[in-house]
Amino acid sequence: MNISKIETIKNNRSLKIILLGFILLLCPAYLLADTPEAVPDNPAKSESPATPVVPLIHSAPDEVAQNPPASTPVEGGPERETTEGRMIVGDSGISESYDDEGPQIQDPFAPTNKVMFNFNDKLYFRVLKPVAQGYSRLPEDLRVIFSNIYDNLWAPSRILNNLMQLRLKAAGNELIRFAANTFIGVGGIGDAGKDVFGIHKQEADFGQTLGRYGLDHGFYLVLPLFGPSSLRDGVGLVGDRFMHPLTYVSSSDLTFWQAAGISAHEVVNDASFKIGDYESFKDAAIDPYVSMRDAFVQNRKKKVDESKHQ
């Protein structure tokens, strides 16, 4: 039963034309972006804390309402409306302001999410970690080459997302990087974009693009294998997959299992550089589930904030 999950797009040619169109569109965009008035080279606004990181004092009449009801571990809901800053009134009557509320997310499916969290946890310790440890006996240089190749395959997604986020310079940089890595770096073996042109990777993904245009997370989702996500970012993952070149390789050239094997290798290769990260995250946490959910929301907020600048 050779179900091809990776859709064979019959109209391969038309897709190529669309992609080419995008790339052609991009070239003038980059030239435009390079002129200082279009995009300031070093946008000061992205450096200045545009969003108040330490918010100012807000009066907090709803301080009591602030604490969620005892029974629900669900965050968000009515709290989402509250401002980030809180006022602390000490015994002395001196008030100090601390940033209290970080970004929040609703978690109506907490029970199933927790099951998935535990599943992923076991998957890591029982499968991914041992495999990655064995795998990491391969020379590091070789693993870095694989990492570069896989990373290069995500470049189209980064280019298109940067473009959709109107980060023209970043999109142009990613395009040059993609071209340099593909042709000079021979399919992305080396990071020629960085080594030759000094261009750093400009991360961008579809979940971020959706966030850029005001779409909220919806609710928290722990996906099997993929880990912490949300309704929005789950859609983002699918979107990014559609911008991945391997999606468009016909199933006669690459069977489902071959494609899955490549993806699995990508995951293992990536994990071989990060053994110990998850362990120390878990060691540091008092409640790993809550800690991971919060880290996810904070990290994604930063990504979305970043997509609005440059």
Applying CB under 8 A, the residues found at the interface with other proteins are 47-49, 53-54, 60, 63, 66-70, 73, 75, 86-91, 96, 98-100, 102, 140, 144, 147, 151, 200, 270, 273, 276, 280, 283-287, 290-291, 293-295, 298-299, 301-303
Cα distances (Å, whole numbers) of residue 245 to 27, 45, 145, 213:
20, 35, 18, 25
Paired tokens of 103: 């970004």
Axis crossing angle, helix 12-34 with helix 155-164, rounded to the nearest 10: 60
Is residue 221 within 8 A of residue 231, CB to CB? The reply is yes
Minimum gap (Å) between residue 289 Cβ and other proteins:
9
Minimum gap (Å) between residue 67 Cβ and other proteins:
5
Return the number of the residue (89 or 225) whose C-beta is nearest other proteins. 89
Minimum gap (Å) between residue 244 Cβ and other proteins:
18
Minimum gap (Å) between residue 7 Cβ and other proteins:
29
The CB-side HSE value for 211 (13 A sphere, CA atoms) comes to: 25
Return the number of the residue (68 or 234) whose C-beta is nearest other proteins. 68
Minimum gap (Å) between residue 37 Cβ and other proteins:
24
Rounded Cα gap, residues 244 and 5, in angstroms: 14
Is residue 243 within 8 A of residue 158, CB to CB? The reply is no
Minimum gap (Å) between residue 23 Cβ and other proteins:
26
Q: Residue 28: which H helix or E strand, with range?
A: helix 12-34
Minimum gap (Å) between residue 40 Cβ and other proteins:
17
Return the number of the residue (12 or 133) whose C-beta is nearest other proteins. 133
Closest listed residue to residue 244, CA positions, set 234, 232, 259, 229: 259
Is residue 108 within 8 A of residue 70, CB to CB? The reply is no
What's the start-to-end Cα distance of the chain, in Å?
Answer: 48
Return the number of the residue (143 or 254) whose C-beta is nearest other proteins. 143
Q: Residue 99: which H helix or E strand, with range?
A: strand 95-99
Return the number of the residue (5 or 302) whose C-beta is nearest other proteins. 302
Residue 87 per-residue DSSP state: E
Cα distances (Å, whole numbers) of residue 227 to 36, 48, 111, 237, 292:
40, 32, 15, 12, 9
Closest listed residue to residue 236, CA positions, set 152, 293, 188, 307: 307
Return the number of the residue (126 or 200) whose C-beta is nearest other proteins. 200
Is residue 131 within 8 A of residue 268, CB to CB? The reply is yes
Minimum gap (Å) between residue 64 Cβ and other proteins:
10
Return the number of the residue (90 or 214) whose C-beta is nearest other proteins. 90
What's the maximum distance between 2 C-alpha atoms anywhere in the chain? 75
Return the number of the residue (34 or 216) whose C-beta is nearest other proteins. 216
